[in-house]
Chain A
Amino acid sequence: MSATDPAAPRASALARIWAFAVELWDVIRRPSSVFGLGLLVLAGFVAGVMFWGAFNTALELTNTEKFCTSCHEMRDNVFSELKTTIHFSNRSGVRASCPDCHVPHNWTDKIARKMQASKEVWAHLFGTIDTRDKFVDHRLELAIHEWARFKANDSLECRNCHSAESMDITKQSPRASVAHQRFLFPGEKTCIDCHKGIAHHLPDMRGVPGWQ
């Protein structure tokens, strides 16, 4: 393919971009006449490692309690509620923080959730829940999203720590032991069916199954 003709001095911006793209494509598709194949492969490998490292580091930065609570919507509402619960402070000192429950640990699911979360960035920028009243108005909708997610993945984020296999029901209270044997072990119910509102305050529960 021949190089593009010198553009007319008054060519439109679109035309100039197109011409640049065509020229770039010409360079990319031609084999290198300067660098050896080995060097190119090695450079590509190193660049790939660096890119992957940077990508994952940036991703993990958005997966911390510090990042979540850097927005006042999270810090003043759901995070302050979490602080009073057993998932934040307890006898053994194990703490489940935001991403432990709200971000899947499996990589593909995590990426899918992170892409969904771009809508939450949008909501933050446009102040959808930037006051307490707005947050309370949206609480039911937000809770329903999370309940649906937990229901769909069989409460996977609960089970990352609380697996049914490693539960010793003899150490549980009589009520818990009976309920887990009747509903959890046969797979009739999943964690979130009964354990709603364990980490944050509940929205208006009228009409939610199992609630009055």
Chain B
Amino acid sequence: MIGKPWFLALAVLTATASTSLVAQTVSSGLRGATPLNEEGPAAPMSPTRNTAEREPRNYPEQPPVIPHGIDGYQIDINGNKCLSCHARARTGESQAPMVSITHFMDRDGQFLASVSPRRFFCTECHVSQSVATPPVSNDFVDIDTLLSRAAPGGRR
């Protein structure tokens, strides 16, 4: 049970805290200086990275990102533009990496003759990249760096 003076002090504290929160302009990298109750101007769209050079994965299970533009690429029941280059039979002409064998697996782990329907829609996992400075910094360190930090010259 809280005593009366304590309760009063708590109430005053809460009130001051909330008013200062409302008055505060939250300036984040994503929002900019726009107050929380207003919608700021839309940021300009950044161009797609189109170097066609493979990006290293940050961890082995990461779906590789798409290093080129995919504007207007149709992926639906009628066709899959990505497979025009990345399908097994097409890689000779295109010199593009083949879709990995995991994409031929059904949910029971059985390999099918071609890309499994559940892995057909490329952009569910693979995304093209924008040329933009990240508004939020990221101190992600990949596992190799972490291990070498833990034991320099140590056991692998």
Contacts and interface: CB of A to CB of B under 8 A. Distances in A.
Interface in A184-204: 194, 197-198, 201-204
A211 interface: yes
Interface string B70-82: 0110100111110
B146 interface: no
Contacts of A201: 74, 78
A162 B78 CA distance: 28
B63 to A, nearest CB: 19
Interface residues of B, number: 23
A29 interface: no
Contacts of A6: none
A86 B72 contact: yes
A211 B71 contact: no
Contacts of B53: 174
Contacts of B83: 211-212
A203 B78 contact: yes
Contacts of B31: none
A201 B114 CA distance: 24
Nearest to B89: A212
A85 interface: yes
A93 interface: no
Nearest to A177: B52
B99 to A, nearest CB: 10
Interface residues of A, number: 21
What's the dominant secondary structure at chain B's contact region? loop
B98 to A, nearest CB: 12
A175 B79 contact: no
Contacts of A198: 72
A9 interface: no
A92 interface: no
Contact of B79 (A85, A173, A183, A204): A204
B51 interface: yes
A106 B94 CA distance: 34
Contacts of A194: 84
Contact of B74 (A175, A183, A197): A197
Interface string A75-95: 000000000111000000000
Contacts of A84: 72
Given A175-B68, A210-B90, A197 B52 contact: no
Given A201-B74, A211-B80, A212-B83, 19 more contacts: A84-B72, A86-B71, A86-B72, A173-B50, A174-B50, A174-B53, A178-B95, A179-B94, A194-B84, A197-B79, A201-B78, A202-B74, A202-B79, A203-B78, A204-B77, A210-B84, A211-B79, A212-B79, A212-B114
19 contacts: A84-B72, A86-B71, A173-B50, A173-B52, A174-B50, A175-B68, A178-B95, A194-B84, A197-B81, A201-B78, A202-B74, A202-B78, A204-B78, A210-B84, A211-B83, A211-B84, A212-B87, A212-B114, A212-B115
Closest 7 CB pairs of A and B: A205-B79, A174-B52, A212-B83, A175-B52, A173-B50, A202-B79, A204-B78
Interface of B: 50-53, 68-69, 71-72, 74, 77-81, 83-84, 87, 90, 93-95, 114-115
